[in-house]
Structures are given as structure tokens and as C-alpha cells.
Structure 1
Amino acid sequence: MSKNQEAAEEHRDTEALLAVLDAADQMPSATRLRARSYELLSLVPGATVVDVGCGTGRAVAELAERGADAVGVDPNPWMLAVARERWPKADFREAGAENLPFTDASVRGYRADKVFHMLQEPARAVAEARRVLCPSGRIVLVGQDWDAIMIDSDDAALTRTIVHSRADLLGTPRAGRQYRSMLLDGGFDDVTVEVHTMAFTDPETLPLLARLAEPACTSGAVGRDQADGWLAEQRRRAEDGRLLVAIPFFVASASASASAN
């Protein structure tokens, strides 16, 4: 494959990922979940709030609409380029969750949505959040548990293998169920946790299922024929109006103690 072909394929992959992310963000259930995360931040007009792993910047724009001085942080320059194009007036900075571009106790709110499962050492990110948050500042973590994804299928055993093998490729796939303990271990106060389950039944969910099956196949956990057969079954279910994917999203929130910094 030539470099031009590789570049074209990479561009198609990133565009496909962007389409999946946009479709998911625009779901009513996702909109409600973001709104709940903003509510838990206890926003103060004009206060600095950082959205860690901001991606294409939708939450940053919505936080700014609510009166916050919102800053989006992401380590992916391509995502930041998309965010800056979409929201040219917003503040976006390139950085990872473990090394935020803020001084100690300078942030009133911290939000991370679908981020911690990608980290090898999420405790470092929690410690960094504690560093930048001012006393009584609020932290909100949102994310799915990758081992707990539920998919209706004729082959339950194969489905479990696909889900679990895909999860095992992530840094901390069960981060969602660990949020509460992470925040308690990090010295935060008033830690609460909620679980909101999203149900997906539309054909637009099929790319998500492909993103589960393909890595499981590439890793050798399932064979090519098994993955193709499983995806074919899910396409038939979508055509028949019988597709069902349910994903529990954990939402944990807490306050930085007066002795946090």
C-alpha cells in the first residue's frame, strides 16, 4: 500500500469515527447525560471549568453557554483541530489528563467524559484533578464500563467473548465501576455515584458493533468467520427492528477538600 493510499484510509477511518461520535452525542439520552454532568458540577458563572478529553468540543461549547469559563483539553491534535473549527471562540489546549496546563487550585470544575478507561494509570489523573481544583471545587467523571456492555444475540457465548476481549485491549476497561473508589482514594469528599443505562436500537449503532468485533478479531480472540457471522446477525436484527445494545454509564461526582492542595 502506498503512502497516499495509507493516508486516504486513515482519513476514512477518522471520518468514520467522527460520524459515530457525532451520532452518539446527538442522541437524546446522551444530551440528558451531559446535562446531568453539568448539573453535578454546580456551575458558578465565570468560574473556570476544564473538560478533560474534550474531543470535538461539544461539552466545552455547552458549558460556555451555561456561563462557565470553559477550557477543553485533549491530547489528540486532530480532535482539537476539529474542535477549533467547530467552536472557533472556545479555548482548547493540547494536554493529557495526567499533566494539565493549570496552576494549583486554579480550576472550579473538572469534567472527564469517556476518558479514564483509556488511561493506564487513572489514579495519576485523579491526583492531577485534585491538584488543579480549588477547595470545594467539583469533579465529575462520566463513562461506560466496557465489560458490562449488553448486546442481544443468538450466540451469547460469542458475544461475551467479543465484549470482554475488546475491553481487555483498553487501559482500564472497568474504570466506570471504579470511579467511586478512585475519588475516595484520591482524597475527595461527598463522593456520589449514579448509573444511567442507554439503550441503542437503531441501525446507526452498527458501526459501534463493528468497532467491538474488529479488534476482537485482530487480537485473535475470535476468528474472522465468527466475527463476520456475528456482525451479519446484528445487521439482520437491525433490518428486522430487533437490534438492542444497552450500555450502563457511571456518573461519579465529588468535592475537593479544603486540604486538597
Structure 2
Amino acid sequence: MFKEQGNEHGADQLIALLDVAEQLPGATGLRSRSYELMGAAPGRTAVDVGCGSGRSVAELTEIGVKSVGVDPDERMIEVARQRWPREDFRIADAYELPFADATVDGYRADKVFHELGEPDRALDEARRILAPGGRIVLVGQDWDTYVIDSDDLALTRTIVRARADLVQGPQTARRYRNLLLAAGFTGVAVEVHTGVFTGPAMLPVVIGLAEGACSADAVIREQVDVWINEQRTRAETDRFFLALPLFVAAGTAPR
């Protein structure tokens, strides 16, 4: 569920994690809701910013939207083109999109804006390419709000916060509404969709949080190993619990 840049091996790991996340209960419904908020309909145009391996672009095409996926990671675009060879994927970042002014009906960015150092600049670019009345949808998690059951809640708090500190914009999702308003979008509204995960599929996510905290020297290796082993045991004995709120913000480009 993370959009971090890295080498090809790192990109492949991320793609594998995204593949798991896209199949989790509620994931399909959340994507569909983002398309609905974007005003996706036959004949309309849309861009999926930070498209990853391209599933949303393919799904938008299925409902008749002329969609383009952009991502700055060459490996992501390579995989997207392999998986969906008929779709339009381009290497580009959120600050410089390959579209003329006022030519796109919908803009979608899922789990992307927390990686941007200048989200306001990215929204200016979204305003530039969106036609009057076009719709923008942002989806993402607040990195301080991972809710994980553990025998050591103090250590869990330390792990979550330390991992959040490694993200460019860990609290960007809670700022979606104000960022959109500041960029001039109208009718801005925010929804929260909370995923509750009790099976082993999301175990790699919490392990990744702990490893990140360890790499930042916020916790020592021995603490991380004990904590990870506890989470593995919970997953094996049906006692794993992770809740993750995802914020979905939408607005309209001024006419």
C-alpha cells in the first residue's frame, strides 16, 4: 500500500504488496467509489496519477473512460504495460503531467500524495489539466493512524510514529480538504473508509512498519524481533488485528 521509490528489486516488492492490497476485502469497492466520485462515465477522460501496475487504468477503460496512467517509476510503467498492453501508460510525475491545459475530465491519485514534498504544486498542476467542472479524487492513509493490537502498546506507538517519520508527508491525508480548498477546488468533501484486517494477508505491512522503525534507529533489533514474532503468532492463531482508515477527498475544478 506504499508508493515509495527505489531500485527495480524494491519496485518489484512494492508491486507484490500492491497486488495483495488490491485483492483485500473492500479494496475493489473503494476503487469503484473513487471512480464514482471522479465522475467516471463512458466518453470521459481521466488520468490516474501514480498508477503503479495499472489496475485502475484498466478498470476505468472497462467502464468506457479514456484513461491514462502516469508514474515516475520506470519499472512500474514497464509492468503496467506488460499486464495491460492495450492501455496508455506514461512515465511522468505529479508536477509535470503530459496533458494540455483544461483537457482532462477526471484526476485520481491513490496513495500518492504522502510521497510528495510539494502537494500544493501537484494540485496546481491538477488544476491546470482539468477542464472546468472536472473532478479530482485523492485517496490515502494518514501514517499516524495505523491501529495495531499488540501486547506492547508503547512499543507499537513508537514503531508507528517512527515509520511515519520516514515518509515525506505522513499527515498529508488529513490535509486533503484544506489543500484542495487552497488550490481553488469547490464542493470539497472527505470520506473515511476504514479497513479492518484480521488475517495474515496484511502481516507484511506491520512487519514493514517495524523494519522501518528499526532502520531509523527508533527501536533496537531485539525489540523488533520480539514484536514481529508476536504479530506472526497472532496471524497464525487468528488473533491479528490491524485497522487502517483511508481518506477519500473529492472536489470540482472551478468553471
For the criterion TM > 0.5, the same-fold answer is: yes
Structure 2 unaligned residues grouped into runs of 5+: 1-6
- Going from structure 1 to structure 2, the CA distance change for 1:253 and 1:239 (only over 3 Å counts) comes to same
Aligned residues: 249
Structure 1 residues 153-195: Cα deviation after superposition (integer angstroms, max 9, x where no partner) = 0111111111111111111111111100010000000000000
Match of 1:231 in 2: 228
- Separation of aligned partners in 2, 1:13 and 1:138: 32
Which of residues 156, 168, 189 is equivalent to 2:153? Answer: 156
Match of 2:20 in 1: 23
- Separation of aligned partners in 2, 1:210 and 1:62: 30
Report the CA distance between 1:14 and its aligned residue: 4.1
Match of 1:205 in 2: 202
Moved over 6 A (4+): none
- Separation of aligned partners in 1, 2:214 and 2:64: 46
Which of residues 110, 119, 122 is equivalent to 1:122? Answer: 119
Match of 1:220 in 2: 217
Aligned AA (2:86) = K
Match of 2:30 in 1: 33
Q: Is the 8 A contact 2:47 2:104 kept in 1?
A: yes
Range that drifts further, 11-20 or 143-152? 11-20
Secondary structure of the 1:110 match is strand
Match of 2:172 in 1: 175
Match of 1:4 in 2: none
Structure 1 unaligned residues grouped into runs of 5+: 1-9
Secondary structure of the 2:247 match is strand
Secondary structure of the 1:173 match is coil
Report the CA distance between 1:44 and its aligned residue: 3.4
Identity %: 59
Secondary structure of the 1:147 match is coil
- 1:249 paired with 2:246, answer yes
Secondary structure of the 1:128 match is helix
Using the size of structure 2 for normalisation, the TM-score is 0.95
Which of residues 110, 132, 136 is equivalent to 1:139? Answer: 136
- Separation of aligned partners in 1, 2:13 and 2:71: 19
Match of 2:192 in 1: 195
Using the size of structure 1 for normalisation, the TM-score is 0.93
Match of 2:107 in 1: 110
Match of 1:6 in 2: none
